[in-house]
Structure 1
Amino acid sequence: MRVERKLGPVLLSGLIIGPVLGSGIILLPPLVYRITGDQAIIAWAVTMGLSFLFAYLFGQLTIRYPGDAGMALAVENAFGRPIKRLTAQFLIAAVFVGPVAVMLTAGEYLSVWLTGDRGHTMMIAFLLLGICFTILLWPLAWVSRVSLLLSSLAAGTLVVGSLAAIPYFRSGSLWQTPFHLPDFGYGLLLLFWALVGWEMIGNYSLEVRDLERTIPRAVVYSAVVVTLVSLAVAAATQWIDPARVPEASTYPLRLALVLMPLFGRTTMTVITLLTTGLCISTYLLAVGSASRLIASLADEAALPAWMSRRTRYRTPVGGLVFLTVIHLMVLTLTELGCLHLERLVSIADAFFLCNALFGIMAAFRLFPQKRLKTVAVLLGAGFFTILAFSPWWVLLIIAGMVGVQLYRSRTERLKQQPVERS
């Protein structure tokens, strides 16, 4: 009989760090700086503070409620099965579009690197989808090792590159643009992309050995590394002065300017490999987690039975196939001009926020400790404020999903009442 290898804190950290950094550490620093100006670093600091609280709280939920359904299990214990399914729907909806943004980011960098323009972005994104699907069919321990290697190389390179860029920072005041609340709020919404991943830890809990020791250690290791890398890259991206960087005009991507002082003419090669590695890590965590959630719902007959199929390595191949088909459709819509990268990120963030908010409410209800309740209140207030900056039509979709699930829940209760009376 084959003994399955369980994950320790280092391998679990490898499965977390790369995906949490993911495409966000490449995509977000220049994007948020363009939107919020010099207040971008403040937005990053706020987001990293929330990241520590987020990781701690959801780590505690994972220890108490392990299972393939992840955080949705805690929601079920707090509010019942209908709300659990609603929470699962939010996560799955986010994973419908979020990983596509990840593949497009990698595809864009690879296209610029290989051909000198963005013309082949879509073709490369389709190819990367196939590669990631193949990797996800491997045993989880091997997937974790791939992610650990990619994330370690990326984190070290980005920190060293950001430090090397300090002599090329602009002179004078580091805060030169005025504060504008709507832009700052929208920047925070986009920055929630930098937090995505923590709430998915629970979906891997059955693959972890010694939960009470492994989870806290993995959370601390991961949170420290993610914070250091994120703040270093955000600061360097914001304050780098293109006029002081040699041959700056040949590098249209702002993050390339940050790494140029350290890597010179090999900058585009380095940044492309980093981006591709981090994006693959993000895709592996998000899709691997959501496919396990889909399989658990199929086991409960909430989804078609074929979605519960697993390989001998417990890989949920039914959920993987379903998500891959959805991603191919979303990529096609993007190619047709119906969607674009920034919109994909904002849509995914709104659904991820809703998923996280239900987890936070569950933690507040389930944990008796005042410390954990306080963390839940702080996180809930912060996340709800960020959610308010989502596009109005996305908020309407979310409200509709909540309304439909509440109606179904009420209908089920009414059907059960005559049975109970009889």
Structure 2
Amino acid sequence: MTARTDLSVAQGAALSVGAVLGTGLISLPALAADAAGPASLVAWLALIVLSAPLAWTFAALGARYPDGGGVSTYAQMAFGPRVSAAVGWCFYFAVPLGAPVAVGFTGGYVSDVIGGGRVTEIATFLVIVGTAYVMNWFGLRVSGGVQVVMSVSLAALLVVTVIAALPHARWENLTPFNPHGFAGIGAAAALLVWGFAGWEALSSLSGEYRNPRRDVPRATLIAVAVVGVLYLAVALVSVLALGPALAGSRAPLADLLAIGLGGPVRIITAVVAVVLTLGAVNAYFAGSSRLGVALAADGALPARVFGGRRRSLTFIFLAGIGCVFLPLDLHTSALLTTGCFTLVYVIGTAAALRLLPGVWQRIVAGLAFTAVVSLLWLTGPPALLSLVIAGGAVAYRAISRSRTARPSSISSASIAPNPTTRPRCEEGSVV
């Protein structure tokens, strides 16, 4: 059980917003537009609408079972340790898969300023992940205050971008509205899961509130509203102001600021993107390296390979470098990662259907479950990787000789897509 720290509604909402707002938004509008054209706005709206039952489901779980274990805890309560291990594997192996995507978004901004194309993007990746690796190797900490400031900085950048580009919006850029059909909208929705990962942090934070049953729903409502307004505003202005050029842009926020403000905005956005991405990758590396140790301690991963924090960290680092050289485009790599996140949501909402007692709570959980299953299907063939990873976890757990009877050591500080959302964490971890 997580110790109570009297988290207020405003603080909880801010942390939840920080968990969901991610660096992916600096490029997601362009990727979604490439998949669906102006109809990508339908995908954005659908994901925002989905956020309400999904966030509410995790909030309900957190309010009823205020524990720091998050989705892993609920999976274990509902389905046992094998499914809990599947949740851990999906998060853990999504990190090296997702690191090239996250840094690839930023690499587009850097190459937009200094040129160099793919070479610059790879160099940016190596610098950022190398820095994060060294920081975590020596246990350097980034305070929760710094991480929150990063999230607030991203939100402020989005607001400024929208205001600056709004006068250049043109309604004619909405035509043709749906050039790729409904399949394009589905593909865009599957990609956009990247930008909405983090709602499960609501359940992980629940034990920190003064009154979870009262405050968690309030914080959830605020967070959903803020995230929805920001995302939809940026997506709408991107489509209306950039038009057909949006689909081919590697730095859409920089393009929007350039037409709205002029001056050296591309350099500014590139610097902001690098700082935000370094903070995010550092947090991912810190949390996932400890997740690997926890999984090994629970018998869900080989202890010889993952049994130490630095060994687990090194695996993530080397696997991430290997993934950046795979012959995959950014679109496919993003789908592979979001497929893992979506499967975790499928398991989490399925657990809610078994654990939540109220009829209305189960109805909302059922809506969320149906939606995330649909998103997993829309991901297409890349979703098979998440199923393979989950199946590997279940199989390994079944044959592992290192089973333990003690409670699972997996915690939300280790598995949350954005571990920086927790106010506190054990020594050495990023908070």
Q: Which TM-score band (shorter chain)? A: 0.7 to 0.9
Determine the structure 2 residue equivalent to 1:32. 32
Change (3 A) 1:28 1:184: same
Q: Are the equivalent residues in 2 in contact too, given 1:11–1:148 (CA < 8 A)?
A: no
Distance of 1:406 and 1:253 partners within structure 2: 40
User: In structure 1, what is the Cα distance between the partners aligned to 2:388 and 2:118?
Assistant: 37
Instruction: Name the CA distance, whole Å, in 2 between partners of 1:351 and 1:211.
Output: 32
- The runs of 5 or more residues in structure 1 that have no matched partner are 310-317, 413-422
Could you tell me which residue of structure 2 aligns to residue 326 of structure 1? Answer: 316
- What is the match of residue 418 of structure 1? none
Aligned equivalent of 1:255: 253
The match for 1:85 is: 85
Report if aligned partners of 1:62, 1:202 keep a CA contact under 8 Å in 2.
yes
Q: Identity over the aligned pairs, expressed in percent?
A: 25
In the TM superposition, 1:16-27 aligns within 5 A as 16-27=16-27
Q: What corresponds to 1:416 in structure 2?
A: none
In the alignment, is residue 357 of structure 1 matched against residue 346 of structure 2? Answer: yes
Candidates 373, 376, 381, aligned match of 1:387: 376
Larger Rg: 1
Q: Aligned pair 1:237/2:238, yes or no?
A: yes
Is 1:65–1:73's contact at 8 Å kept on the other side of the alignment? Answer: no
Q: Does the C-alpha gap of structure 1 residues 402 and 122 become closer, same or farther in structure 2, counting only changes over 3 Å?
A: closer
| Structure 1 residues 411 and 165: CA distance shift in structure 2, 3 A | closer
- Written as runs of structure 1 = structure 2, the 5 A alignment for 1:66-81 is 66-67=66-67, 69-81=69-81
Residue in structure 2 matched with residue 186 of structure 1 by the alignment: 187
Is 1:90–1:352's contact at 8 Å kept on the other side of the alignment?
yes
Gaps of 5+ in 2: 401-431
What is the correspondence of 1:205-244 to structure 2 with a 5 Å cutoff?
A: 208=208, 210=210, 212=212, 215-216=216-217, 218-241=219-242
Cα 1:14–1:327, aligned 2, differ >3 Å: closer, same or farther?
Answer: farther
Counterpart CA distance in 2 for 1:46 and 1:296 is: 35
The one-letter code of the counterpart of 1:300 is D
Distance in 1 (CA, whole Å) between partners of 2:243 and 2:395 is 56
Q: Cα offset for 1:359?
A: 0.4
Provide the secondary structure at the position in 2 that maps to 1:302: coil
2:273 maps to what in 1?
275
Q: Distance in 2 between matches of 1:307 and 1:5?
A: 36
Which residue is 2:297 aligned to? Answer: 299
Match of 1:50 in 2: 50
Residue identity matched to 1:266 = P
Q: Letter of the 1:23 partner, please give it.
A: T
The answer to whether the 8 A contact 1:163-1:232 is kept is no
Q: Where does 1:17-166 land on structure 2 (aligned, <5 Å)?
A: 17-67=17-67, 69-115=69-115, 117-133=117-133, 137-138=139-140, 142-166=142-166
In the alignment, what sits opposite 1:377?
Answer: 366
State the distance in 2 between where 1:58 and 1:85 align. 19
Q: Supply the distance in 1 between the matched residues of 2:286 and 2:211 (Cα, whole angstroms).
A: 19
Q: Structure 1 residue 257: deviation in Å?
A: 2.5
TM-score norm. by structure 1 comes to 0.80
Cα deviations by residue, 1:352-392 (Å, 9 ceiling, x for unpaired)? 11111000000111001122211211111111112112342
| Aligned position for 1:345 | 334
Distance 1:327 1:363 in 2: 34
Q: C-alpha root-mean-square deviation of aligned residues, in Å?
A: 3.6
Give 1:143's aligned amino acid: S
Query: Does the 8 Å CA contact 1:237/1:254 hold for their aligned counterparts?
Result: yes
Specify the code of the residue in structure 2 equivalent to 1:149.
V
Is the CA contact 2:5–2:210 (under 8 Å) kept in the aligned structure 1? no
Distance, in Å, in 1 between the alignment partners of 2:349 and 2:389 is 19
Report SS of the residue matched to 1:352.
helix
- The alpha carbon displacement at 1:148 in A equals 1.3
Does the CA contact (< 8 Å) of 1:334 and 1:340 recur in 2? no
1:406, CA displacement in angstroms?
Answer: 5.6
- Structure 1 residues 63 and 308, CA gap change in structure 2 (3 angstroms): farther
Superposed CA offset, 1:301-339 (max 9, x none)? 433557888xxxxxxxx446524532433334423x533
Equivalent residues of 1:15, 1:144 under 8 A apart = no
Per the alignment, residue 168 of structure 1 pairs with: 168
Q: Judging changes above 3 Å, is the alpha-carbon distance between structure 1 residues 307 and 331 closer, same or farther for their aligned structure 2 residues? A: closer
Residue 338 of structure 1 aligns to a residue in which SS?
A: coil
Shift, 1:145, TM fit: 1.0
CA shift in 2, pair 1:61/1:35, >3 Å: same
Residue 169 of structure 1 and its aligned partner are, at CA, apart by 1.4
Counterparts in 2 of 1:225 and 1:307: CA distance versus 1, 3 Å:
farther
State the 1:187 CA deviation: 0.9
Please give the secondary structure, in 2, of the residue aligned with 1:100: helix
User: 2:82 & 2:299 partners in 1: Cα distance?
Assistant: 13
1:291–1:320: 8 Å Cα contact kept in structure 2? yes
Contact 2:101–2:334 (Cα < 8 Å) also in 1: yes
Equivalent pair of 2:75/2:347 in contact (CA under 8 Å) = yes
Preserved contact between residue 98 and residue 337 of structure 2 (Cα < 8 Å): yes
